[in-house]
Amino acid sequence: LSRNPGEPEFHQAVREVFGSLDRVLERNPQYVQASILERICEPERQIIFRVPWVDDANRVRINRGFRVQFNSALGPYKGGLRFHPTVGLGTVKFLGFEQIFKNALTGMPIGGGKGGSDFDPKGKSEGEIMRFCQSFMTELSRHVGEYRDVPAGDIGVGGREIGYLFGQYKRMTNQYESGVLTGKGLTWGGSLVRTEATGYGAVYFTQHMLATRSRSFDGARALVSGSGNVAIYAIEKVVELGGVVVGASDSSGAIHDPDGIDLALLRDVKERRRERIAVYAEERGGRARFLPGASVWDIESDEPIHVALPCATQNELSEAQAAKLVANGLVAVAEGANMPATPGAVRVFREAGVLFGPGKAANAGGVATSALEMQQNASRDSWSFEHTEQRLAEIMEAIHERTAATAEEYGAPGDYVVGANIAGFTRVADAMLSLGVI
Ligand code: NDP
């Protein structure tokens, strides 16, 4: 880790995975002999580039672009692009590292990578967003491709941005290579269910965890952090399964709506009007409240909260907030976001016997459906919503089974952290051994 100074999130992600691997290395000395641990935390390639663009005032602006191609033992690099002012090399490396094991857990032929920029889409005009995306892709285009590296969205990168990125790639390469990006629009190579997949998948995973304790979402009360792509569809699926979501958030604060969030209104405010979440509470009225600057985990609820779905960003749920949730009747947590619970929070949940689904397993539905989008592109086909959602549901069930069975095999029944880390790691490590010293 001393080789990578100034990358605390990357260190955190590596420690988290390696913390589960002692038992694996004891049983598999061949991994030690082949220096798999040393190799797996060194990216195969990392690219950092200048992104110049012109703003509406005709001024030239400069951002920094990143793509970390971490591991391609299982398939082409696959992982999203994040546009957020906090993005730096350490963030992209932490996300890329996590992605290796998550992608392995899906059972699909995809390697791990991640990218992004410190560009802040907030407050930018449509034209500025388009020009930024075009400039970003002008450089990125040299490094991606259906068989090489297939980016998708993440924080700050949704269907609009993927459209501009794909348009520029198409123009530069003079070919319609649909498989170069996922999260595309439905009329130009996208897959049904991709938009919903991460949120839906996290809820399916939670459903399977709850079933191990003979529980379900029916009548359960939940908190969901964020109000972006993952959060919105997590809320939708919780409600469909009979649960009530009483809180959500964005980076300006949280909303508490004890009667259950009105999803149509939330979507209108966040997805269509791209407003701050305070507007939801103003227009909803009744008992709904906006808590400026607060996290959803600070909400004081008189009634128990059974399920917590952190779906905003990394390290958003602290140890103290975890302890408060446990005291208020928490049964299950599934990480819709990547690494949202701090190490202290994860410890609190595990020690209290709360069902805890780590992001690698719980939010893998998004990338799995991206792989389904790649399958449809490769076969020039497009599947129905029902068929694709059925595939997603089967994949999430398989991830749950694989994770639970591996935890059991390694003497930690019910510990999804151990199960996900070991199941993901061994799949990649075995492929790396087969491919030789590369
Ligand atoms: P979006 O940009 O659509 O939404 C992110 C949400 O989180 C917004 O409500 C945003 O608020 C909030 N948020 C972001 N950063 C912060 C912060 N620093 N503090 C407080 N709130 C914050 O992103 P996604 O929904 O796509 O991604 C959310 C998480 O899920 C990320 O961790 C991502 O890596 C992970 N993920 C996403 C997948 C996908 O398919 N999209 C797949 C797997 C994981 P605001 O609007 O105010 O910025």
Can you tell me the distance from the alpha carbon of 376 to that of 409, in angstroms, rounded to the nearest whole number? Answer: 35
Residues 6+ apart with CB under 8 A from 131: 53, 54
> Is the pTM of the predicted complex or chain greater than 0.95?
yes
Which residue is listed with tokens 């399916």? 204
Angle of the 365-378 helix axis to the 194-211 helix axis, nearest 10: 130
Q: Whose alpha carbon is nearest atom 19 of ligand 1? A: 251
CB-based contact 390:379 (threshold 8 Å): no
| Ligand 1 within 6 A of CB of 337 | yes
Q: Which helix (H) or strand (E) holds 38?
A: helix 36-40
Best CA proximity match to 137, nearest among 34, 65, 40: 65
Closest ligand 1 atom to residue 276 Cα is 47
Can you tell me the distance from the alpha carbon of 245 to that of 259, in angstroms, rounded to the nearest whole number? Answer: 8
Pairing of strands 149-152, 77-83: parallel
Can you tell me the distance from the alpha carbon of 74 to that of 96, in angstroms, rounded to the nearest whole number? Answer: 14
CA of 357 from ligand 1 middle (Å) equals 18
Tokens describing residue 128: 């500025």
Task: Provide the pLDDT for residue 329.
Answer: 97
Asked whether residue 99 is marked as a ligand-binding residue, the answer is: yes
From first to last of its 438 residues, the chain has per-residue pLDDT tens of 788 999 999 999 999 999 999 999 999 999 999 999 999 999 999 999 999 999 999 999 999 999 999 999 999 999 999 999 999 999 999 999 999 999 999 999 999 999 999 999 999 999 999 999 999 999 999 999 999 999 999 999 999 999 999 999 999 999 999 999 999 999 999 999 999 999 999 999 999 999 999 999 999 999 999 999 999 999 999 999 999 999 999 999 999 999 999 999 999 999 999 999 999 999 999 999 999 999 999 999 999 999 999 999 999 999 999 999 999 999 999 999 999 999 999 999 999 999 999 999 999 999 999 999 999 999 999 999 999 999 999 999 999 999 999 999 999 999 999 999 999 999 999 999 999 998
Q: Residue 237 catalytic?
A: no
CA of 156 from ligand 1 middle (Å) equals 7
CA of 29 from ligand 1 middle (Å) equals 39
CB-based contact 290:253 (threshold 8 Å): yes
CATH label, 195-362, candidates 3.50.50.60, 3.40.50.720, 3.30.460.80, 3.30.200.20: 3.40.50.720
CB-based contact 360:424 (threshold 8 Å): yes
Can you tell me the distance from the alpha carbon of 78 to that of 69, in angstroms, rounded to the nearest whole number? Answer: 8
CB-based contact 368:172 (threshold 8 Å): no
Pairing of strands 60-71, 45-54: antiparallel
Can you tell me the distance from the alpha carbon of 341 to that of 317, in angstroms, rounded to the nearest whole number? Answer: 5
CA of 313 from ligand 1 middle (Å) equals 5
| Ligand 1 within 6 A of CB of 228 | yes
Q: Which helix (H) or strand (E) holds 45?
A: strand 45-54
Closest ligand 1 atom to residue 312 Cα is 7
CB-based contact 307:331 (threshold 8 Å): yes
Q: Can you spell out the DSSP letters for 110-144?
A: --EEEEEES---TT--HHHHHHHHHHHHHHHTTT-
Closest ligand 1 atom to residue 366 Cα is 40
Question: At 80, is the secondary structure helix, strand, or coil?
Answer: strand
CB-based contact 228:270 (threshold 8 Å): yes
Task: Provide the pLDDT for residue 100.
Answer: 98
Q: Any idea which fold 43-192 has?
A: Rossmann fold (3.40.50)
Question: At 280, is the secondary structure helix, strand, or coil?
Answer: helix
Domain with CATH 3.40.50.10860 in the chain: 43-192
Which residue is listed with tokens 């029944």? 413
Can you tell me the distance from the alpha carbon of 388 to that of 377, in angstroms, rounded to the nearest whole number? Answer: 14
Q: Is the ipTM of this complex over 0.90?
A: yes
Domain with CATH 3.40.50.720 in the chain: 195-362
Q: For residues 160-174, b (16+ Cβ closer than 10 Å) or e, as one string?
A: ebbbbbbebbbeeee
Segment 159-199, tens digit of pLDDT: 999 999 999 999 999 999 999 999 999 999 999 999 999 99
Question: At 95, is the secondary structure helix, strand, or coil?
Answer: helix
CB-based contact 7:94 (threshold 8 Å): yes
Question: At 272, is the secondary structure helix, strand, or coil?
Answer: helix
Can you tell me the distance from the alpha carbon of 194 to that of 183, in angstroms, rounded to the nearest whole number? Answer: 6
